[in-house]
Each structure stands twice: as structure tokens, then as C-alpha cells.
Structure 1
Amino acid sequence: MANTRQHQLHEKKLEELMKLMPFYVVEYVDQKLGSRSPSTLLNYVHDYKLFFEWLMAEGITNAREIKDIPMSVLENLKLIEAQGFIRFLERRDIQVNKQDTKKSEKVSINRKISALRSLFKYLTTQTENEDGEPYFHRNVMLKIEVTKVKETLNARAARIATKIFHQDDDIRFLEFLKNDYEQELPADSRKVVYFKRDKERDIAILSLFLGSGIRVNELSNLRLRDMDFEMGQISVLRKGNKRDTVAVVPQAMDDVKDYLAIRNQRYNATGEDYEFVFLTKVKNEPQPLSNRTIEALVKKYTKAFMSNKSMSPHKLRHTFGTNLMEETNDIHLLMMQLGHSTTSTAALYTNPEQEKARKALKELGEKRKER
């Protein structure tokens, strides 16, 4: 299942983390690898690690290492103890940076509950011992509720709208990078040196996000063979390992061409069709850019442009989706372009009811003036 570099990396990390886990978690992961991605399972096992560490800290198990925690601890876990773990998740402080901390978001807590539910369901219904029975029957996690985060489609759409580029800000942003960003850097600094080296590459990345709406993982896994300049489109690997063809704004393809013109010489790369498009240079050797590096450069440049806030690749994707919807008002075209399978997700990029409300209220305000 690990077809992308991100999945391959997560598979290696998962393999290392499994060395710390009890046999029943190792067995669970082995069984689920065919149906769930390494990325999902890696997140689950991180959640299990946190849970097991809490069990040891609370004295619920006498085991000194996670891998030695017996399955009987899960079988006999009391409801009040399971609820105690949830309260721990809600109250703990998570370090954001050296100065700041934050509380866990409800979505994050729900994911941990879901991860534990999946493990407990496996152990109580999908396993079989020598007697043909599940490893154990009592599933305390069934008594722990997942409280869904309540938010209307209007609220989600409005929240997204406050965090993306509007009108022609995306165009101005790219112009800022091409013409003005370098002037804001300290003269003769390393920042200037690196920007000059990576300018064409970084502009191509940002332009491609804003000109196609692809996801960060889809961009980082682009190979030279995936670029079709004649047709103005690219081939990407969507979620679920589905291959798809995506149309690209012509100007974005031009920016990619400008980058490819200097790519081989500047990053010691070759033009082999299997090579990754976007590279960095490590010890004078070409290396494909990681998702984290791409996310960091998007944050850096958008913060420089907007001064007080930054954006993520996903927000650039939202910007493209909103622009496409405003231009075409075609939700099915939007779904195809962004790789959505349901109209409910695509509907986040258009909010006609909210627009109708704004116009109606404006008219009411005009009537008040007349009286």
C-alpha cells in the first residue's frame, strides 16, 4: 500500500515504533496494514503509546516497559479508569513552542478514542485463541462516547473563507515573491543566498498549488514523467492510491518550466522521467523535498506577504477551489479538479446561502436609510 514517499517513510517509522509495542498491538497492525495506510496506523500506534504510558504512570499496570503490558490490563480496565484517560487528554498541556502550550482539540481526542476503539474491537471480536474464542470479551471502550464537533456547513465555509487569499491576492502574492521578497531579506545574508538558489523552485511550488488545487502529498510525489506541458496537465496519485489527471493554470505550468530550466544544474539532478520534480540539495546530492519542507516554505512566504499570519498548502488548495467555483459555479467540475468524492465536501468552496443572506441584509439596511 505504501506507494508514496510519505507512506514509505511512515512505514519505516511504524516498523521502529512497533519494537516498543506488546505482541497484540503488533498483531493488530499486521492485520490492518492491508486495509489502512501506514500513515493512519502510525498515528494510531502513537496514540497507543500515549495510552500505555498513562497506564504505567497511573499504576494501573506494574509493567516497566510498554511491550510487557499484558492483555489482561486492557481486559480488566475499569470504566472509571478509561474515563480518567480521556480527562487526562482533555487537561494535558501540549507544547506548541518554547513559550506556549495549548489544550488538545476535540478532534484530536476523538481520534485517540477511535484508535483505542479499533484496537479493543479487534481484540474482542476479530481474534481467535486456541478455543476458537476472541482474546477477551469485555470491551470497556464501547462505553466511551465520541462527542462529535458540531459545526454547520455555513460555519465551516465561513471559517475557511477567513484563512485564504481573496480577489487577486494570490496573484499579488506570486508577484511579491518574484519581484519584492528578496529586497526584504538582509543584504549578503545566507537567506539571500538560499532564496536565489531556490527562487524558481519555490515559486513553481506555490504557483502549482494556486493553479491546480493539488494536495501537498500529491505535489511532493510528482515525477518528471507526470508533467504534460503540451496538454497543460499533470498526473497525480490521489488518496486511496488512485491515479488522476489534473488540469493546471497555464501560468503555473510556465513557472514550472522556468524551474525545470535550472533544476538539473542547480540541484545536480538528471532529466530521467522517473526522477522527482521538486528537489533540494543535501551534501551536493539531489534529494526530493519532503512534505514538511514544503509546508515550511509555504508558511514562510505567506507570512512574509501577509505580515501577521501564515498559510498552509491546504489553504492554498482552498484558495484555488474557491476561485474555480466563483469562476465556473460548477460543483462537479470542482469535485473532479480537487479529487473529491462527495458534493458535501466540495460545497465548502461555495456558500450561496450565506451570500444571499448578505445581499438581503444589505437591502434591508438600504430600506432603513430611506425611512
Structure 2
Amino acid sequence: MGAGKRIKLHNKSDKPDNVVLSEHEIIFKCEEIQKQLPDFLKEFFAYLKGNVLPRTRLSYLSDIKFFCQYLIDESKLTSAQNIIDIKLQEFNRIKAADINLFLDYCRKYTVEKNNEIIVYENSNKTLARKKSSLSVMFKQLYRAGKVQKNITDGFDPIRVPKAGEREIKALQDDEVMIMLDAVSTGEYLTEKERQYWKKTKKRDKAILVLFLTYGLRLFELQQLNVSSFNFSRGEFKIYRKRAKESVMPLNESVTQVVLDYIQNERADDSNLDDLYKDALFLSLQGKRMTDRQIRELVKKYTSIGLATSRKSGYSPHKLRATAATSLIGRGNSIFDVQALLDHEQVTTTQLYASHKMNVKRDLVNDMEWELERKERK
């Protein structure tokens, strides 16, 4: 970040340094993309900064940069060779049909890189987000008087299954136990995986138990610090979306696995860079674990619980779904679960309440057929 320059924080807020730094990194990425985009979008940049969350802002800007590169590489809508040189009058000539062609292009496209041809295929959910990014941009440009027409009404609809129509993917209780047994014993791991497991098993178990107990979002867990935990008071602190701060109670199993990791496996602070001395979950290199490292860890252990390939393992978000369905299945109030998981709308939590894990299996088991009949004599 910043051409290799190290960031020095002067943090006067109540947030820990790593949370402030993480927010700064997202904003820095946004500003780097903005520098590559045409100047006539400056008012749109200001709109995003004031109206959407930093992570959403980054997604929008990334989509718009991709669209601008598409205009150069795949269309005749601009004569520019670089994104920053695209002219406002060229944007004024863009029609809704051009956007629809772009969205259709995004369904599946290829990129040549390092003597390889990479095929990208996007789901309707991703296409809908790209459409949303462009809709917000063109509406703001129209309101600001930059473009003459509001072309967004002509964008083709993209059907994304409603939340209630989607199959909720979550681990069942017996699959959770198999997964936790695997992280405790090393069973079902390959020989190479066991070499790493011996050094990280307490860390990995603490990560899985925290996900399963609280339904944490990935970034919430990744940003946890040792100082986030107050074991004498039986609580720990997390930072949620929109900079919300939440204090979570500790139960015995979580206290046990986190303390076991801190006291018996986590690297000593004296061997760590100052930047990572307070980080709770560390890589073998002594740095705060990245989102990607945590995703791969979860994918590995959930694949064992599911008895499937490593590639087919679940994401951390599906452990969040596991926590929700397990809590509701144990008779807890929907509103209490909503508060724990930080759902903005209770309708989101209700999806897990209506989800019956074994209903399909029970129905199918009631429809067994006699496949082998005795021969007539």
C-alpha cells in the first residue's frame, strides 16, 4: 500500500489499530481506482463516499472500472486507449442496449494471461450487482446534468432468486461433530495437511468454534485481537458493519478453545512484528491471517464434515448459516438470533427458521421401493 510505504497510525478513536487500518486499506483501494477513472465521475465518487459503505463503494468502483475497460477492448463506443481518457460525450452516446450487451458479455468471457486463456463465468447474482453499479452511476450522472438521458429504465431485468427460494446450505449437527473431531484429532487429513495441522490445530479449532457459536462474518473474525477478549468478565468485543461495536458473551467451550490456543500454541509476542502483536489469529509466518487463509481453512474442515472434496467445502458464510439454523432449531427466539447475528431485518433470520434441515430426507425415506422381487416358480 502506498508504493511500499509503511503506514503509521495516529489513532485517537476507541477502535483498535487493526480495525482502523483495515478501513483505511479499503478507502485507499477506492482512491486508487478513482485515479484511473475519467475526471467527469468526480461527483459520482463523492456520492459513493457519502452514501454507501466502504466495501460496497469498492465493489461499485471495481465494476465501473471493468465496464470502462470493456468499452475500450470490446466496443466501438470510445476512441480512448486508456480508461482515464474516456470522454463525457462518449458516455452521453451510450444507450441502454449497450449496457445490456455488456451484461450479456459478463455472463461468460475469456482473458488471455501468461500464455493461458482464463474463462470467467458469472452468476445472475454477480450480474445483478454489476447492473446495480452502472444504474447508480448513470442515475447520478443524469441528476448532476452530466448525461442528457436517464437510460437505466431500459436495462434488462436480471432475475435473482429471492432469499426464500434459495437452498440454504448449512452443516447438520452430526457433520459439525465430524468436523470438530477432525480438527481435534487430525483424522481424514492428508499427510501434508497433518504436517501443518500439528502446528495450527488449536488455532483452527478456535476459529471454527467461534464461527459456529456466534455466526461471525469473516471480516469480524479476521479482525479479532487478543485484547478483544476480557476473560475475567466473560466477554469479547467485535466491530461490525457500519462501524458498530458489539460486546459478545463468552461461554465455556469458546473460553476453553480460545485460551488453549493463546496459552499453548500462539506465537510469543516477543517474536512478532509490532503490527501483529495483538492479532489473535496468526499465520505460521507470524502475521495476522488473511481472509483467504481463513476461507481455505474453513473449506478444508467443512469438506471433511460433508464427506466431500476439498473444493466442495463450505465458506465461512455457510458456518454463519449453520449457527443460525442450529440456534433456531434449539428453540431460541428469532429476535434473539437476529440480534446475535446482526441481521438488519428479521425477515433475513426468518429464512433460517423456515428452513427444515431434514424434511427432504424424511420425505424420501418414506418412499422406499422394493427393487428386488422374488422370482415366480
TM beyond 0.5 = yes
C-alpha contact 1:94 1:103 (8 A) present in aligned 2:
no
**Matching residue within 140, 143, 151 for 2:162:** 151
Name the SS for the 1:150 alignment partner: coil
Distance 1:53 1:312, change over 3 A: same
1:249 to partner: Cα distance: 4.0
**Matching residue within 40, 45, 48 for 1:24:** 40
Distance 1:272 1:152, change over 3 A: closer
**Structure 1 unaligned spans of 5+:** 128-133, 366-371
Name the SS for the 1:277 alignment partner: coil
Q: What is the letter of the counterpart of residue 144 of structure 1?
A: F
1:172-191 equivalences under 5 Å are 172-181=178-187, 184-186=189-191, 191=193
Q: What is the letter of the counterpart of residue 124 of structure 1?
A: Y
In 2, distance between residues paired with 1:99 and 1:64? 23
**Which deviates more, 4-13 or 314-323?**
4-13
Partner of 2:255: 253
Q: TM-score, normalised by structure 1?
A: 0.81
In 1, distance between residues paired with 2:250 and 2:352? 18
Distance 1:100 1:266, change over 3 A: farther
1:117 to partner: Cα distance: 1.2
1:352 to partner: Cα distance: 6.8
Report whether the alignment pairs 1:331 with 2:337. no
1:14 to partner: Cα distance: 2.2
Report whether the alignment pairs 1:92 with 2:109. yes
1:234 to partner: Cα distance: 2.1
Distance 1:104 1:273, change over 3 A: closer
Distance 1:184 1:171, change over 3 A: closer
Name the SS for the 2:340 alignment partner: helix
In 1, distance between residues paired with 2:275 and 2:61? 37
1:265 to partner: Cα distance: 2.5
Report whether the alignment pairs 1:43 with 2:56. no
Q: What is the number of residues matched between the two proteins?
A: 344
**Matching residue within 109, 124, 133 for 2:142:** 124
Name the SS for the 1:245 alignment partner: strand
1:45-60 equivalences under 5 Å are 45-57=61-73, 58-60=75-77
1:101 to partner: Cα distance: 4.3
Partner of 2:27: 11
**Structure 2 unaligned spans of 5+:** 1-14, 368-377
The Cα offsets for residues 59-111 of structure 1, whole Å up to 9 and x where unpaired, read as 2111111000011111121333233222212343589xx89846321111111
What is the percent sequence identity of the aligned residues? 26
The Cα offsets for residues 195-225 of structure 1, whole Å up to 9 and x where unpaired, read as 2222211111111111221111111111222
Distance 1:91 1:302, change over 3 A: closer
In 1, distance between residues paired with 2:195 and 2:42? 47
In 2, distance between residues paired with 1:279 and 1:81? 47
Partner of 1:196: 198
C-alpha contact 1:21 1:66 (8 A) present in aligned 2:
yes
The Cα offsets for residues 324-343 of structure 1, whole Å up to 9 and x where unpaired, read as 11112410111111111222
C-alpha contact 2:138 2:152 (8 A) present in aligned 1:
yes
1:304 to partner: Cα distance: 4.0
Q: What is the letter of the counterpart of residue 209 of structure 2?
A: S
Q: What is the letter of the counterpart of residue 184 of structure 2?
A: K
Q: TM-score, normalised by structure 2?
A: 0.80
Partner of 1:103: 121
Name the SS for the 1:92 alignment partner: strand
Partner of 1:307: 308
1:354 to partner: Cα distance: 9.2
Partner of 1:224: 226
In 2, distance between residues paired with 1:12 and 1:241? 17
Report whether the alignment pairs 1:141 with 2:152. yes
In 1, distance between residues paired with 2:50 and 2:359? 47
Name the SS for the 1:280 alignment partner: coil
In 2, distance between residues paired with 1:112 and 1:271? 39
**Matching residue within 240, 243, 246 for 1:244:** 246
Distance 1:357 1:66, change over 3 A: closer
In 2, distance between residues paired with 1:203 and 1:223? 16
C-alpha contact 1:267 1:280 (8 A) present in aligned 2:
no
Partner of 1:71: 88
Name the SS for the 2:283 alignment partner: strand
